[in-house]
Amino acid sequence: MRWWDVADVARLEADVFGPTAWSAELFWSELAAAGRAFWTARSATGELLGYAGAASAGADADVQTIATAPAARGRGLGDALLRACEEHAERLGATALLLEVEAGNAPAVRLYERHGFERLARRRDYYGPGADALVMRRRVEHDPIALEPGTGDPGAPAALIAPAAPIAPRAPGAPTA
């Protein structure tokens, strides 16, 4: 995701998440923050079909948001976007990838469980009365050779092996993946 994607992303975000959607300004500030990586998926004609973002800081990384357009679901885009988040966490040296999801969001919970996320905690009424949040976590596997400084790709920049800088907490009320 680049700055020129933000207007399209904010429109799809509003369609998908309604009143709890991130604003365009929040996407702008996330794109500028350390340890973040965001992706978009577009059709061959340029239509925005989905996006996702992850933040990594030290041992923990978070899936911050993930969504696909309703008409584009069930084709593996969610799967590909989540894989991008997992690879980002691995590149920045995280050992765990976490996320929050509404317990009743069955398609999302199935996607996460398929990717090896396990239920870590349940936050009662987190999204409003009767809408609990699940905190889910997945281990991030590392190839020891690729992560060892001085081995693997000798041209790899330090950012690939160093942990990211700490990040600010998420804005209250913002959606989580």
Q: Which is nearer to ligand COA, 154 or 172 (CB)?
A: 172
Q: How far is CA 32 from CA 28, 36, 57, 83, 106, in A?
A: 7, 8, 15, 22, 32
Q: Would you say 35 or 175 has its CB closer to ligand COA?
A: 175
Distance of closest approach, residue 65 Cβ to ligand COA, in angstroms: 7
- Is the CB of residue 68 less than 8 Å from the CB of residue 31? no
Q: Which helix (H) or strand (E) holds 86?
A: helix 77-91
Nearest to 102 by CA among 129, 77, 140: 129
3-state class (DSSP) for residue 31? helix
* Whole-number Å distance between alpha carbons of 98 and 22: 19
Residue placing its CB nearer to ligand COA in the complex, 93 or 117: 117
Least distance in angstroms from the C-beta of 57 to ligand COA: 20
The distance of closest approach from Cβ of residue 22 to ligand COA in the complex, given in angstroms and rounded to an integer, is 12
In the complex, least distance from residue 106 CB atom to ligand COA, rounded to whole angstroms: 7
Q: Are 97 and 62 in contact (CB under 8 A)?
A: yes
Contact positions vs ligand COA (CB under 6 A): 16, 66-68, 73-79, 101, 105, 107-108, 110-111, 177
Report the distance separating Cα 118 and Cα 138, nearest Å: 6
Q: Which is nearer to ligand COA, 20 or 95 (CB)?
A: 20
Q: Yes or no: say if 101 and 136 are a contact pair by the CB < 8 Å rule.
A: yes
If the CB atoms of residues 101 and 167 are measured against ligand COA, the closer one turns out to be: 101
In angstroms, give the least distance from the CB of 120 to ligand COA. Answer: 14
Tell me the Cα Rg of the chain: 16
